Chain A
């Protein structure tokens, strides 16, 4: 299972890039180009708040998964733990 956890890290990194493309190209840019001034607020939120959280968060999460940070180990008492060192 730990191998799957690691390889799925690549999926999360790819997903971060897809989400970034969607948020910027499909959501933020059309709203920046909108003639309505009130559309600028969601555009700013999409571009400068949501994109960093979603893209940045998923990229780091994917990287951690890929490098085995979320691997789960069994201790001598047969309890499962995520690596904590």
Chain B
């Protein structure tokens, strides 16, 4: 076979594998992107059981179930083959996503609605746990060893493109209908779209052949009879699983989540930037950054995987605090000059539709800034007919929305783009790195678990722990301010970054010290 024919064949394999993986990421992310509307439809506030189910859906599917999916499907992939296993994960993910879009709301079928959502979300997490390892292994086992980094890097682009497509579809669907229609049924459309994409991907994947290395191992009777025992029960392999986890995927996971999700959360929550504008901002950064996955994958074939990943972790942990300070300086209205003459305040009082006699006083404040940024604050105060029911903590609801000027917008795009570059450095070469760490007979199982613990657990924990650290710092400042003491934290909004910085630093030291960057363990 000529090089060109081989290249063409490989490109087809990569495309077929990548499309399926991209769709799985898309399916996984639309739930997160539509979390607010999903909670109003299935987990309405004021019910403790529903709050419990909602937390379970977020936490359990987000990071607990993924490693179990990695174990279950990894084992299957090492026993029966890569092709059928990752076909199964695709079907499972596609059906779960489609069905989430079909579940009647809590108002229609009561408690069954959130339970069904929870079950389907868990199935999504399981499917995702099985998909990535299969796709990365499948592509790697088709690739020539000296080009493995380049070819597997296409699979590495799928998580980011999946996030991009999910944001794009949501923005497009939202833009094509009124806000009330979207809130009524339009939010279901992104879930329904999934079934079309999955259907196409299934047809493509059905036509694919089994991985040549696995097929050869099977023909020679060299496949594992107990992949779980061989992967984690034998010290010889288990020590490499631990090394992959603590020396690579842990650091990669926190860098990935900081650069994409924490950045979005910081822009939306700390800077209060309008949701659509924040989504567009992230989309631009992802669009500019995505080609670098392939670049660093390609580069890893030339200079090795280890030092690219380690450099990515190093620059990330050194630059996170300066970057987030710059993001705060660019986007915070506290640092902008207000045109006070333009400020408007409207006050409206209307009867509370839920409680007879009570009323809601809405104060809407519009502020304008010299650079073109606008700010809107809606303060809703619940006024009780029975004054004894007043509760200062619960009666006030404030929403803040900032619309950034063009310059601030593009400054933030730049800072998120820089973080995406760090992501591409640690993530671009990692599929090839993990694949080369484990032999064919137990590869799917052995590489899937550290990947999903690193990303699902260490990365997935990031929002909760970062929020905890930030809240703790803000509370300490509030207490100090009330007591008239000096504030203990000058930038409380940066405290959440200690989590990725510390974990990234530990992973960096372990990786630098223990990973042998010169060659790999695979015999193929």
Contact = CB atoms under 8 A, between A and B. Distances in A.
Interface string B39-54: 0000000001101101
Contacts of B246: 12, 57-58, 61
Nearest to B51: A38
B229 interface: no
A37 B235 contact: no
B398 interface: no
B381 interface: no
Contacts of A72: 514, 516
A8 B506 CA distance: 11
Contacts of B468: 27
B479 interface: no
A26 to B, nearest CB: 9
Given A70-B239, A70-B514, A84-B236, A57 B245 contact: yes
A25 interface: no
Given A15-B506, A36-B51, A57-B246, A41 B513 contact: no
A42 B239 contact: no
A38 B55 contact: yes
Nearest to B236: A84
Listed residue (A4, A39, A65, A70) with the most chain B CB atoms within 10 angstroms of its CB: A70
Contact of A50 (B238, B457, B514): B457
Which of A1, A4, A37 has the most chain B CB atoms inside 10 A of its CB? Answer: A37
Contacts of A79: 518-519
A69 B239 contact: yes
A69 B235 contact: yes
B242 A82 contact: no
A64 interface: yes
Contacts of A39: 55
Nearest to A74: B518
B235 A38 contact: no
Contacts of A45: 59-60, 64
Interface string B496-524: 00000000001001100110101101000
Nearest to B506: A15
Contacts of B235: 64, 69
Contact of A49 (B51, B64, B243, B464): B64
A23 to B, nearest CB: 10
Interface SS of chain B: helix
Given A15-B506, A45-B59, A38 B54 contact: yes
Given A41-B59, A53-B453, A57-B246, A5 B513 contact: yes
B239 A64 contact: yes
B464 A42 contact: yes
Contacts, number: 79
A9 B60 CA distance: 32
Interface residues of B, number: 34
B173 interface: no
A38 B118 CA distance: 14
A41 B48 contact: no
Most chain B CB within 10 A, of A15, A39, A82, is at: A82
A61 B457 contact: no
Contacts of B514: 5, 65, 70, 72, 82
B160 to A, nearest CB: 26
B99 interface: no
B56 interface: yes
A31 to B, nearest CB: 10
B487 interface: no
Contacts of B510: 12, 61
B520 to A, nearest CB: 10
B52 A38 contact: yes
B461 interface: yes
Contact of B59 (A8, A12, A42, A82): A42
Given A53-B453, A60-B242, A84 B521 contact: yes
Interface in A24-78: 27, 36-42, 45, 49-50, 53, 57-58, 60-61, 64-65, 69-70, 72
Contacts of A65: 514
B516 A81 contact: yes
Given A41-B56, A57-B245, A70-B243, A80 B464 contact: no
Interface in B236-251: 236, 238-240, 242-243, 245-246
B516 A8 contact: no
A7 B44 CA distance: 54
Interface of A: 1, 4-5, 8, 12, 15, 27, 36-42, 45, 49-50, 53, 57-58, 60-61, 64-65, 69-70, 72, 79-82, 84-85
15 contacts: A4-B513, A8-B509, A36-B48, A36-B51, A37-B49, A38-B48, A38-B52, A42-B59, A49-B457, A70-B243, A70-B513, A72-B514, A80-B518, A80-B519, A84-B236
Interface of B: 48-49, 51-52, 54-56, 59-60, 64, 235-236, 238-240, 242-243, 245-246, 453, 457, 461, 464-465, 468, 506, 509-510, 513-514, 516, 518-519, 521
